[in-house]
Structure formats: C-alpha cells, structure tokens
Structure 1
C-alpha cells in the first residue's frame, strides 16, 4: 500500500469541509463536524500558517486521512490525526505518526518534543503512538467528554527529539511522588 502525504492548501477548503463532514470521528471532541464549521476552521488558519500545517494522507490517490500539526512555533507542538472510517485498521495511523515525527524533527530544529492526546479507549491511536516511539506521559481521569455526555479518561503521549535520533524511548518516571507510600 503506497501512502503519500500532500500539503493542505487554503484552496482545498471545500474538499476539507466535505472530508470532515462526510465521516464520523468517534475519538474527537465532536463525532460529526458540519461543513460550515470546517470552513470556519480553515478561515481561522487552523490548517495553514506559520504555527499550523496540515497534510492529506492519500492511499492510491484517495484522501484517506488528515494530519494537523499545531503550535509549530513552540518547542512542543501537538498534532491531530483523522483517518476515514473505510481506511481504519490498516496501519495508516501508525505510518502517519512515524512520518509526521520525521517531518517535524527534520524541518523544525527548535522542536524538542512532539505531543498528542487521545481517549483511553482509542486502542488504535495508542498503538500508533507506540509505533512512532511515543511514550505515555499523562493520564487525565474524566477529562474527555464524548457526544453522548459521558466522560472518558484522556492519555497523553510524547516523543523526545533525542529519543527519535537515537531510536530509543525514555520511559516516564511514574513513581516519583514524594511520600506516596506514607498515606
């Protein structure tokens, strides 16, 4: 399967609106995005500009997904990843995380780490993070509301530039709470 990554351009606003409103996104803030809302996001510069970039994920010429990079002027940018329902479960997410990590660390020398967050129950995205060398660094209880009103736990992952360069992962120190055993 040949995967390519094509830069989003403001001229793609209508395609982006159709992409976002034409599928459901169960592990995002809203399962459904309206076309008008997507157009507003483009107009606000969320997908193109000095601090934000987006890339279409294409498979055999079809737009299968979208990567959105945010806070690129910061030493710790974030990203959002959306894979269309018909393409989920094929490894596109993991491949996209590997690609975007290389893109950011190669093109932005001041970036020290890259972060991403997902719902705890999004097993596919959690596998994609691990495939890209990301380490779980945060667990936020009841922090992610879903469209049905339920609260889900959110988990945060990051990769360090030094780990990416060396091909290793540095685990987070989860047992650093002073006096935790003294309860």
Structure 2
C-alpha cells in the first residue's frame, strides 16, 4: 500500500486536534492529549511556522500518522513522529524516518545533522532510526517522565549529512573519557 506525505495546513487545525486527542501516544510526554491542549499547541505554532513543519502520513488515503519537524532554522533540527495505534507495527515509522531525513537534507542545505530522542523502551522507534542510518549518541538515565509518574531512560540518535550522502554511519568515540584520577 502506498505511503504519501501531505503538508499540514493551518486550515486543518480541527482535524489535527481530533488526530492528537483521538488516540493514545504511549511514548510521548503526554500519552493522552486533551483537545484544549492540542489547540493551544497549534495556536503556539508548534505545527506550522518558520521553525516547524508538519506532514500527514497517508496510507491508503487515510491519515495514519504525523511527522512534525522542529528547529528547522537550526543546523540540527529534531522531529516528532506519531503513528495511529491501528497503523503501528506496519513499517510506517521506518518509511516516515526515511522520508523526513531526505526531506530535511534535500531542502535545508545548512542542516548538518538531524536528531531524534525517544524512550529506551520504544523498541519500534529505535529500530526505525537504526534502519535509516541514525546512530545512538546518548543515553540519559531516568530522564523521561511517564504518564504513570515513573521515569524511563531516554536515548538520543542522530544522522550526519555526510553519512546520509555516503550511505555510511560514523559511531561516536565512546572511549574518550579521561582517567578519573588524572590531574
């Protein structure tokens, strides 16, 4: 089934409110979005302004998800990805990460790298990132609050423009710590 991406238009604000509040998002800071909160986010420009762009993910003509790009004026933008629960586990995340990576690197020449953060237990997102050449660069212990009042570790990934162009990955030098007792 064909997957397409359609730019969010401000005239679709009510549809976005319904999308955000009509499902649960277990790996986001707010798992259940209240419609009033969604409206506020839209009014604040989080989905469409100079620094943000959002795209509906369409599968079979249905809005199956949303990609939101942030910090587009920065050389290191980030993204948020939401897939409706009934469409999860079908490869949409991997396809969306591939699409957004090409979109950003092709359309924003000043971007050097794209970053992503997720909870450690979000295995599907982590696999989607790895399949698209993103490299784990950070592990933050007890950094992601959960809706039940707990915390989880957060992990950070990124892809470098040069790696994307070459089809390679460059892993961080994890052995660069100075000795604890050294002067």
Q: Same fold (TM over 0.5)?
A: yes
Match of 1:77 in 2: 77
Any idea what SS the aligned residue of 1:140 has? strand
- Cα distance, 1:162–1:81 mapped onto 2, change above 3 Å: same
Task: In structure 2, list runs of 5 or more residues that go unmatched.
Answer: none
1:91 aligns with 2:91: yes
Match of 1:125 in 2: 125
Task: In structure 1, list runs of 5 or more residues that go unmatched.
Answer: none
Match of 2:141 in 1: 141
Counting matched residue pairs gives 182
Any idea what SS the aligned residue of 1:156 has? strand
TM-score normalised by length of structure 2: 0.97
Deviations 1:141-165 (A, max 9, x none): 0000000011100000000000000
Shift of 1:129: 0.5
Match of 1:108 in 2: 108
CA distance in 2, matches of 1:139, 1:111: 23
TM-score normalised by length of structure 1: 0.97
Instruction: Write out aligned runs for 1:1-183 (5 A).
Output: 1-179=1-179
CA distance in 2, matches of 1:162, 1:31: 35
CA distance in 2, matches of 1:7, 1:180: 50
